[in-house]
Structure 1
Amino acid sequence: MISKALKYIYRLLKQVCHGETDDAGPKEERLLFTFGGRSEGWPGLGRTLYTNEPYFKAAIESCNRIIKKNGGVDILSYFEAPIEANYYRGEENFICITAIQIATVQLYNENGIFPNAVLGLSLGEPSAVFAAGALTVEETIKVILSGMEIHKKADKNYIFLFFKLGMAEGVQLCKKCPVWSEVVYEESSDSLIIVCNQDDIIQFKSFTDAQQIKFKPVTTITNFPYHTSLISLYYHAWENFANIIEPKPLKCDYYSSAIGKCIPKNTLLDNIHWFNIIVKPVLHDTVLRLVLKEGYESVLQIGPPAVSDRQWNQLDPNHRLKIFDTFQLGCVSEISHLNFNLGELKAKIFKPTFLNEKPKAVLTDILKSFDIHAIDLHDQLTYLKKNGEIHFLPLHNSWMVLGYDKTDYILKNPDLFSSSAYNQIDKVLMGADPESHKMVRELLQPLFSSQTIAEVSRKTLNVAETLLDPLFALDQFDLVKDFSDPLSQIIICDFMGFTPSEGLEVRNVLGRDYHNGNFFQRLEQYFNNDFELADHQGDDNFVGKIKKAQENGQLTRADATSLLRLILSAGIATTSTVVGTVLNNLNKTPELTAQIQGNDQLLAKYVEECLRLETPAHYVRRITTQPVEISAQHLPAGAHIYINLRSANRDADHFVNPTVFSIDRPAKRNLVFGSGIHQCIGMGISRAEVRSATQVALTRLEQLNGYTWEAPEYFKDSEVQAMITLKLKRSGN
């Protein structure tokens, strides 16, 4: 508060001297840190600061120890030995740039200067995220070293070419080119860099000449094809480094040139982001336009200018950015330049940022907008669990419980944690509490016998073959809508005892897009008005059992309708999603398919690992029946709780390396289908159906591998993260 008051007084004095007034009081500005990559301006920078600034020197020495520990080169010679003009010719020495960026950020932070946002360009992206508080020093260094690991293995016979073309024109040129080429750098709206193999340059030039398009080499030195899809070939060389990074929330906005957009604060970056910054082109112009549109007042360039004055002016000649360069090219005294910058920056009043707040403030802000229905929350859940096993979610006015032990405890204590939260869906079984639940469970349990499960497995094999084989005559199809959905619908209708005509009617009622929110109501209307229980005899199937229970007075017609609707929808949505998930995983793990083919034991482990890592149900809900305490948090009676199954099944206290897919994992009970008296009654049938569908797919791998698989899409705002599309397109079409 005192420093801000002094800033205000300083500003008032300046205004008085210049005859200005500011009736609105001190204006808070926003400060952007920028981080560039490889550039000609780096040689020599930081050396005099290392000599004269103890804090900077200590930070560099700390980085050096971490670099050497992780297999990198000793960088102290850059600062202590005579300057080498060609120091940055060696790829292994570029880690020195990262060390200087890290030390510079720490130096400015030590003097109270923190960013409201960061911008990363190419090699500077990891340092930008470090400045945003989402990477540690060691993690930042490991990300850079992982790229250098790729450099060791990659072909370095690629040449970089400068074109006066817009991004769309450049992409189209590469698509039409008879030899491989890709855009790697978008410099401005009408200039970019394209890379191609040196061996193809004659053919490439013939093609561009025919198009009357000119280019010039950026340099005569060839290199590896960074920022292109070819780097994907070296994923395994990279992942050993980056997979040990622990995702943490961004404490300020982050402009990423790899994806060309702003990633908002509180986002947790998954590890694949660090691979994407190597394989995707640098969208320099796109991301700078976003920055200017956002209206930042000040920019601190960490290192030589990541963006030149010419580039800022070219984008907007009228911009009002106050630009500070941490290092001024040709400046004799880096310490004097540092002190000048600090004086200017400290005279400004910048908007608050989480970077100089306590971690609790970040956690509170994340929870404020946390949406339990969001897709792919794994990293967020891991972060939240490290900060406690129970959190209040204002968006849902409910508590969320994380971790295996607490989840298992709540599910096994229905007297304390009622299932009545599900009464609107089904109060007969799913929402029933112990006594009434016990009666219905005992009534239905015989239908889910081992003999029934074996029969479901056999029928699934036949139906899966019938559905899958005709699809291979098509150039494209949807593995969900054309396979897993109809498969699960046919099997569950058969299990329930519907006649073929009734099964067809039910499938028509559901429709192909049955996740649209009102299918539950459609089913209720159908079972109430159009379906006749009286037509079903015997009690050896679900419908017959329900009919007999109604005749005996054990169930009302409303109860019967609720159970029919519940078992049908659960048997379709959950099972279809799991089938899609397992098949999609087969496509992503080709190295495992040979192991599990023909091995039922390994196949079962494979399915369980898919279930554990991609648990179809995000959570289950409960309501406290009396005041309770969970992890030292007091909850009153009537408190609503979301018990997060995905967090439980990735709990590091119960599963070694929980994010790693492994069919060698020791057998340990997961909580995919819940626990306690409400454990899913149909889990045996679901597992059998998924295994059989996978067996059939394994025998058709050659056909499936002839297609390009798109990323699946999921339905949001549901307890089940239901896969709704998984499109395949024949390769080459």
Structure 2
Amino acid sequence: MLRSLPRALVARYAPPVLKKLLRRAWRRVRGLRTRGPGPRLVFAFAGRTEYAPGTGRELYAHEPVFRATIQECERISTQLLGGPSIIDNFTGLPVPDFFADEARLMVTSVVMQMALVDLWLAQGVQPTAVLGISAGEAAAVYAAGGLSLTDAMRVCLCYCALGQATTRNYALLVVQGDAATVGRLAAGCPTELFVVLVLNAGSCLAFCPQPAVEVARQYLAAHAIASTAPPTRPIWPYHSPHLAWHLDALREPLLGMQPQPLALPCYLGGAGGRVPVGTVLGIEYWLAVIQYPVNAHGALNAALTDGFSLFLPIGADPFPFLTEPAQRAVLQAVQVLPALRPDEPERNTLAACRQQLTEHKLLASKALTRPVLSPTDFVGQFSLRALASAADPYPAFAHLQQLGSLHFAPSEGGWLVLSVELVNAVLREPTVFSSTINSDFDTELIGADPPLHTLNRQLLQSFFAPKELAALRGFTEGMVAELAAAARGRPSFDFVTELVIPLTQAVSARLLGLGTAERQQLQASLPGPTYALGYVAELNSYLANYFEQKQPTDAPLLLNCLLLLIRDGQTTAAVAVSLAQTMWMASITTTSMLISNVVHYLLTHPVVADQLRAQPELIDAFIEEILRLEPPLGALWRTVTQPVTLGGQEIPAGASVVCSIVAANRDPARYARPDELDLHRRPARHLSFGGGVHACLGAHLARLEARVVVEWLLAHGPALRLTNASAPPEYFPTQHFRALATLPLTLQTTTA
């Protein structure tokens, strides 16, 4: 009786809408009790597939939804994007050599998949997640709500552009070595060699020029790595670092994309794992997919680790690279439904899949639509921390900016400010938008407001005068030469930890007035990693001892000036330590990040490097564009001291405000083509050095150091290169900075 009482009360007194919701919930609970939770379904998408001519013809004739998507993709390709026509594959008689044209083959591969997505949705089947490999990622992201049909076709035509920029002259190698090792060895190979797909932890697929197969195999064998060369037709150089020379041609089809946030988890070969809901995959992601190896192993393992056990192939077999029984064993614990095959009628294959989906109770009773992440949900889950180590976080900011220039971000506990206009409005009012929120880092400068901030800034300003900075140029050049000499000839060195951080530390020490021995003592006492900022206690201890033990002189050096103020009673040792600490940390952290970004860009964009060699007068413009596109400091935090209206929004006193430098620097209201590097862009001041009273004191010093390193890099030409050109960049996981965690380089002993 007691158990039935709540249901009786609901039946008697609850409104009709509530009764309906409760009945639906009760049916779901009862269903779980009787059958248990069913498997979670993954739509799985293969890469470029060599379909037999006429594949899809049966579905086109008998399935209206499939046919409608094919026709719409044909319209988009031929009328909007200037791509190839594929409609003849689905109508009339099969043409035996239809797919001899690589563009038609590539477009058909992706269009078939998107048409099948729409067909399965119309039949009441929607995945819990998607898995995509290589070109199949475009259709996978379409299924997850991240791309429209038009934008998925743009990605497809990006692949097609490769055929115009390169030659079909590559052979496939199956290499029994891990991808990282093979990638590093490739730099020393007598012929071109690059990893294209990670099979598992100990093997990969690689490409080399077809005439040089034996040269590549002998080179690998000399390093104790076995390989085989299965017979294949000549292949285009997909997933090759060689494509860095053709980025303009590959980028062209992608211009105009409007990517949307993912509404389903995606397991993608380009990302090598799980890409969470809310991620926005923009142009740079798709360019990376075509340039870097496909980590199919990472994507599949991530899906299996997350418990997915039912895979529905969308088109052909999504795992054709798992050719050996030992490789295929990874799928033994899961169920892979039938894929389309040339010897099986297409509708029979779909019927077999539908039957098994019915048994798993995964067919809805009505047609479904592609999932969409609502603006409210996107803003609600937006997180700076989640984007910290993303290879390309900028499309997420762009999408957020399209929704408005000011948002309350629950993950940040404050208001996120995105436009140049509003960020400048905040930075111009230091008494309303206080910097004391940063006082945990520094109470005297970065975390101080006027008038205290003004007094301390005036104290330090003279040390950053143009004359003082000009004297540092020769010292910077000498340090670059010294650090490079230590790295020259080694198989690899980490540019971040072995060159740029020691360089900026040396320049900072010189600015402060430390001698060589004092600087080396300080460097040796500071624990790493530098970007974790875990060395503050040791730094402060060194500075406190310095001020306590050092005797003042007449030298016009920053630390000596602070020492004189302490001795004269005009300031305290604690204040002096805080100011010196800020000068050291600020001049190292963001400057080294800027220089690493500059070097990485030039090594991955050789056309731009050649342009700067030919026109060195553009170096300053290049540095400003990198500062704008990749600001080392991503955001500035402020606290509201009084009720204020910002962008039409009332913000109460005590609220936090986060000024996104990343978003403001790409504000389309300020910059035409904001995501593109333009060396002839009309000057428009970026915000990478902040603004208002807190504008960075060391901005000119950072530019000077960056220019010295750019000139050094350009002078070394091909002698300086990435140790593993196939390895994507790795970023340090911090929400405050945009920092490369590592940058392995090789500097040959013979230089240009």
Provide the residue aligned with 1:90 in structure 2. Answer: 101
| Whole-angstrom distance in 1 between the partners of 2:126 and 2:568 | 73
Are residue 564 (structure 1) and residue 564 (structure 2) matched?
no
Provide the residue aligned with 2:12 in structure 1. Answer: none
Provide the residue aligned with 2:117 in structure 1. Answer: 105
The answer to whether the Cα contact below 8 Å between 1:167 and 1:186 also exists between their aligned partners in 2 is: no
**Residue 548 (structure 1) shift:** 4.5
Moved more, 315-324 or 250-259: 315-324
Are residue 34 (structure 1) and residue 44 (structure 2) matched?
yes
Query: What amino acid maps onto 1:57 in structure 2?
Result: R
**Residue 197 (structure 1) shift:** 5.0
Provide the residue aligned with 1:64 in structure 2. Answer: 74
Query: SS in structure 2 opposite 1:565?
Result: helix
The answer to whether the Cα contact below 8 Å between 1:108 and 1:114 also exists between their aligned partners in 2 is: yes
| Whole-angstrom distance in 2 between the partners of 1:255 and 1:311 | 23
- CA deviations over 1:570-589 (Å, ceiling 9, x no partner): 22223333333333334334
Change (3 A) 1:372 1:634: farther
- CA deviations over 1:367-419 (Å, ceiling 9, x no partner): 26854654553232223222333344444433332232221111111121001
Alignment of 1:439-478 (within 5 A): 439-469=455-485, 471-472=487-488, 474=490, 476-478=492-494
| Whole-angstrom distance in 2 between the partners of 1:491 and 1:234 | 37
Alignment of 1:654-693 (within 5 A): 654-693=670-709
Long gaps (5+) in structure 1? 13-20
Query: What amino acid maps onto 1:67 in structure 2?
Result: S
Are residue 77 (structure 1) and residue 84 (structure 2) matched?
no
Change (3 A) 1:403 1:155: same
Query: What amino acid maps onto 2:736 in structure 1?
Result: E
Provide the residue aligned with 1:490 in structure 2. Answer: 506
**Residue 336 (structure 1) shift:** 9.7
Moved more, 663-672 or 29-38: 29-38
Alignment of 1:14-33 (within 5 A): 23=33, 27=37, 29-33=39-43
- CA deviations over 1:58-106 (Å, ceiling 9, x no partner): 3222111111132222233333323335433432322233223222322
2:286 corresponds to which of 274, 277, 287:
274
The answer to whether the Cα contact below 8 Å between 1:458 and 1:692 also exists between their aligned partners in 2 is: no
Change (3 A) 1:329 1:641: farther
| Whole-angstrom distance in 1 between the partners of 2:584 and 2:567 | 21
Query: What amino acid maps onto 1:680 in structure 2?
Result: C
Identity %: 26
Change (3 A) 1:403 1:557: same
Change (3 A) 1:525 1:47: same
The answer to whether the Cα contact below 8 Å between 1:300 and 1:326 also exists between their aligned partners in 2 is: no
The answer to whether the Cα contact below 8 Å between 1:373 and 1:618 also exists between their aligned partners in 2 is: no
Query: SS in structure 1 opposite 2:448?
Result: coil
Provide the residue aligned with 2:9 in structure 1. Answer: none
The answer to whether the Cα contact below 8 Å between 1:111 and 1:342 also exists between their aligned partners in 2 is: no
Moved more, 45-54 or 331-340: 331-340
Moved more, 448-457 or 389-398: 389-398
**Residue 496 (structure 1) shift:** 2.7
Moved more, 79-88 or 285-294: 285-294
Alignment of 1:301-320 (within 5 A): 301-306=313-318, 315=329
Alignment of 1:600-611 (within 5 A): 601-611=617-627
Query: What amino acid maps onto 2:92 in structure 1?
Result: A
**Residue 568 (structure 1) shift:** 2.2
Provide the residue aligned with 2:656 in structure 1. Answer: 640
Provide the residue aligned with 2:591 in structure 1. Answer: 575
Query: SS in structure 2 opposite 1:669?
Result: coil
The answer to whether the Cα contact below 8 Å between 1:536 and 1:543 also exists between their aligned partners in 2 is: no
Change (3 A) 1:30 1:329: farther
Change (3 A) 1:427 1:192: closer
2:253 corresponds to which of 241, 252, 260:
241
Alignment of 1:394-409 (within 5 A): 394-409=410-425
Provide the residue aligned with 2:629 in structure 1. Answer: 613
Change (3 A) 1:457 1:103: same
- CA deviations over 1:313-363 (Å, ceiling 9, x no partner): 96479756383668996548689959966993995378xx99535523540
**Residue 303 (structure 1) shift:** 2.7
Provide the residue aligned with 2:744 in structure 1. Answer: 727
- CA deviations over 1:415-458 (Å, ceiling 9, x no partner): 21001112222222222222222222333333332322332334
Query: What amino acid maps onto 2:547 in structure 1?
Result: F
Query: What amino acid maps onto 1:356 in structure 2?
Result: P
1:522 corresponds to which of 530, 535, 538:
538
| Whole-angstrom distance in 2 between the partners of 1:725 and 1:690 | 18
Change (3 A) 1:40 1:366: same
1:264 corresponds to which of 270, 276, 301:
276
Are residue 366 (structure 1) and residue 377 (structure 2) matched?
no
The answer to whether the Cα contact below 8 Å between 1:26 and 1:349 also exists between their aligned partners in 2 is: no
The answer to whether the Cα contact below 8 Å between 1:327 and 1:334 also exists between their aligned partners in 2 is: no
Moved more, 480-489 or 229-238: 229-238
Long gaps (5+) in structure 2? 1-16
**TM-score, normalised with respect to structure 2:** 0.80
| Whole-angstrom distance in 2 between the partners of 1:195 and 1:696 | 32
**Residue 131 (structure 1) shift:** 0.9
Change (3 A) 1:339 1:668: same
Change (3 A) 1:139 1:509: same
| Whole-angstrom distance in 1 between the partners of 2:44 and 2:490 | 49
**Residue 695 (structure 1) shift:** 3.9
Provide the residue aligned with 1:16 in structure 2. Answer: none
Aligned length: 720
Query: What amino acid maps onto 1:252 in structure 2?
Result: L
The answer to whether the Cα contact below 8 Å between 1:390 and 1:399 also exists between their aligned partners in 2 is: yes
| Whole-angstrom distance in 1 between the partners of 2:338 and 2:400 | 37
Are residue 117 (structure 1) and residue 157 (structure 2) matched?
no
Are residue 348 (structure 1) and residue 362 (structure 2) matched?
yes
**TM-score, normalised with respect to structure 1:** 0.82
The answer to whether the Cα contact below 8 Å between 1:354 and 1:361 also exists between their aligned partners in 2 is: no
Query: SS in structure 1 opposite 2:488?
Result: helix
Alignment of 1:200-215 (within 5 A): none
